[in-house]
Amino acid sequence: MSLATYGWLVLLLPLAGSLVIAFTSQVLPSRLHGWIGTGAIALSFVAAVGALFALEELGEEERQVVSVAWDYARTVGVDAQLSILLDPLSIFMCLVVSGVSALIHLYATSYMASDHGYTRFFAYLNFFVFSMLLLVLAGNFVILIVGWAFVGAASYLLISFWYRRTTATRAGIKAFVINVVGDVGLVLGTFFIFKHTNSLDLLTAFGRVEEAFPTRNDGDLVAGCLLLLVGAFAKSAQVPLHTWLPDAMEGPTPVSALIHAATMVTAGVYLVARMHPFFEQAPAAADVGAILGATTLVVAATIALVVTDLKRVIAYSTMSQIGYMIMAVCSAAYAAGLFHLMTHAFFKALLFMAAGSVIAAMAGEQNLDRMGGFRRAMPFTFACMAIGGLALSGFPLFSGFFSKDEIIAYVIAREGWFVILGVLGFAGSLLTAIYTWRMIFRAFFGEPVEQARELEGGHLHHAAEHTNPATGEVEDTDVGFPGPDHHIAEREWSMKAAMGALAVLATVGGVLQIPKVTEVLHHFLEPTFAESRYYEELEPSGGLTVVGLVLGALLAIAGIALAYRLWVTDSERSAVAGLRARLAALHAFLVHKWYFDELIDVVVVRPFAAFGRFARDVFERAIVNGLFVGGPSGAVRAGSAAVRAAQSGFLRYYAALLLLGVCALGLYFLISAS
């Protein structure tokens, strides 16, 4: 089969899976739907591997294939087509997305087994994978925007999957609204670029960058790139459009693993990498992106230090790691950013899966304050969590070690003020190690809690009544709420298989790109970035690489050691309490998440709400209702009242009027004739 055929198969299999699940929901037994969904994504992954091999057969110069299914509009100046672009970048993204998704589907077949919305869940999940693949395969701005919006919609559906939980539906709406802000940014940015390049086709537009924007930092191009960044930041949860991601943890854990860790939130990274010809011609916009990415990585890491919700710790960690990737791709370290995207997908999905297993053992409870001592009760989950944690904190030889330090080395190699960003990156890796291991030590070490002891005795804890972990509201287990039973990795082979596979990948994923030794990914992605002015030139020196790796390793070990001292050795946790008391103001600042929610509330939400109220009370009532609607209708009403008064119903009155009228006419003609 040709490369294009494989590409279309990658895209169509998840769509087919979603449709089959949706239309047979009443016909087939619901257990089967989980396997249909998993199978569709697994086949999609197989097709992506096929596409990889087909691509490898082509020469270096030919590795950018566009396949067009049909034209939407082909008129003066508009070339909107349903086209997919198959190049190393899109196939790399397809492999990551479909591969990790297949494992998460496998995990979800057990994890969601007792949920009453099982079939719906898999239909949504497959639809999400389809949207994400559409986004990464798009060969045309129009298709990119469609995929972008589909992904946002799928994310909304899955965050508010438990639709009877008010906290979940609110979180879904918040995520959707912020994502729509990003959609608008993407569309407007596309217009800015389309205005000058006159092509919606990605490759054609890239080819015309030089002639359309002859000077660097052309005003329109910078504006367009900044708007693209708005889109990327909303999707990738970067400051200041990040507040939806922690709330999105209201969704089921497989959703957090799939959408809010491994795939959807990396779309912004993909977008910047894909649009690199524009960003390189508009370095001002790229610099803004790099600075905001570095800001996010520090802000999110500091918040993660104090969050007590298990899933939210990982969510803030995701924000922080995506900050690294955004910083990398905006600093033209494309291969490094995408490498971190891949390793992050492995270890972050793994961490979420392990967290899901712990939450299941706690019967839905997510608060770290109530957890502890699960190490002996859940050895497999603990091992997975530890591997994920080591990879995340950049412990030597784990995958995150290579990818994160490569980003920092490349950013520093840009020299000038980029060095500051690199230093922030190092600060971030220390914080990463601390918050990751704070979470792991608090959940798995220390005195076993009641649930852990119960599990050691061979019995999975069941709550007396089901409650919302965020608010404590009492819930039932019918559709729209989580199901009655929980499933832990120790007892489900499919969860174990998925987590095991990811644990292996998170451990050894780094070998793809060991600095100065193997550069598989760098060479593989080269055709996509052939025109880039930095891709080949930008290369950290050997000394810098070594210093970076050593410093990264030291910071990771120091962070883990510090966390061990604070939360394990010091079993009373008096040092932590002392720190908290001494830095009460800082602690409150971090607990309130740097007051971003409050800031957005004051700056955006309240003015808009006030404006809305003003419009409703004054504009809508007085002007629209009173003048535009009331004016003509009042005139018609008055006129018809006058005419109606003439219709008295007296026959003789009509006759008299008729006679008078005829007489008047006769008189008129008589007078005018004489």
Partner 1 sequence: MSVEWYLVVSALVFSIGASGILVKRNPLVILLCLELMLNAGTLALVAFARAHGNQEGQIFALIVMVVAACEVAVGLGLIVAIYRRRLPIDVDELRELQG
- Note the residues at the interface with partner 1 (CB under 8 A): 643-652, 655-656, 659
CB of 640 vs partner 1, minimal distance in Å: 9
If you write DSSP's letter for every residue of 490-558 in order, what string do you get?
Answer: GG-HHHHHHHHHHHHHHHHGGGGG-TTT--HHHHHTTTTTTT-SSTTT----HHHHHHHHHHHHHHHHH
Nearer to partner 1, 419 or 663 (CB): 663
Examine residue 607 and say whether the peptide bond preceding it is cis (omega within 30 degrees of 0): no
CB of 670 vs partner 1, minimal distance in Å: 14
Nearer to partner 1, 648 or 672 (CB): 648
The pair of structure tokens assigned to 491 is 């007892």
**Distance (Å, rounded) from C-alpha 627 to C-alpha 10?**
57
Nearer to partner 1, 457 or 649 (CB): 649
The pair of structure tokens assigned to 331 is 């600093």
Nearer to partner 1, 447 or 644 (CB): 644
CB of 639 vs partner 1, minimal distance in Å: 13
CB of 648 vs partner 1, minimal distance in Å: 6
Nearer to partner 1, 53 or 653 (CB): 653
> If DSSP codes are grouped into helix, strand and coil, which group holds residue 305?
coil
CB of 672 vs partner 1, minimal distance in Å: 21
CB of 641 vs partner 1, minimal distance in Å: 9
CA dihedral 54, 57, 63, 68 (to 10 degrees): -40
Nearer to partner 1, 517 or 643 (CB): 643
> If DSSP codes are grouped into helix, strand and coil, which group holds residue 475?
strand
Residue 66's beta-bridge partner residues? 85
> If DSSP codes are grouped into helix, strand and coil, which group holds residue 95?
helix
How does DSSP classify residue 242?
-
Nearer to partner 1, 76 or 645 (CB): 645
8 Å CB contact between 10 and 40: no
Nearer to partner 1, 595 or 669 (CB): 669
CB of 673 vs partner 1, minimal distance in Å: 17
Q: What are phi and psi of 523, to 5 degrees?
A: -70, -40
CB of 188 vs partner 1, minimal distance in Å: 56
Nearer to partner 1, 53 or 650 (CB): 650
Annotate 118-150 with three-state secondary structure.
Answer: HHHHHHHHHHHHHHHHHHHHECEHHHHHHHHHH
Query: Residue 330 contacts by C-beta under 8 Å, 6 or more apart in sequence?
Result: 272, 279, 286, 287, 288, 289, 290, 293
**Distance (Å, rounded) from C-alpha 266 to C-alpha 319?**
10
Nearer to partner 1, 648 or 674 (CB): 648
CB of 638 vs partner 1, minimal distance in Å: 14
CB of 665 vs partner 1, minimal distance in Å: 15
Short-list 303, 265, 268, 318, CA closest to 289? 268
Angle at 292 between CA 204 and CA 520, to 5 degrees: 55
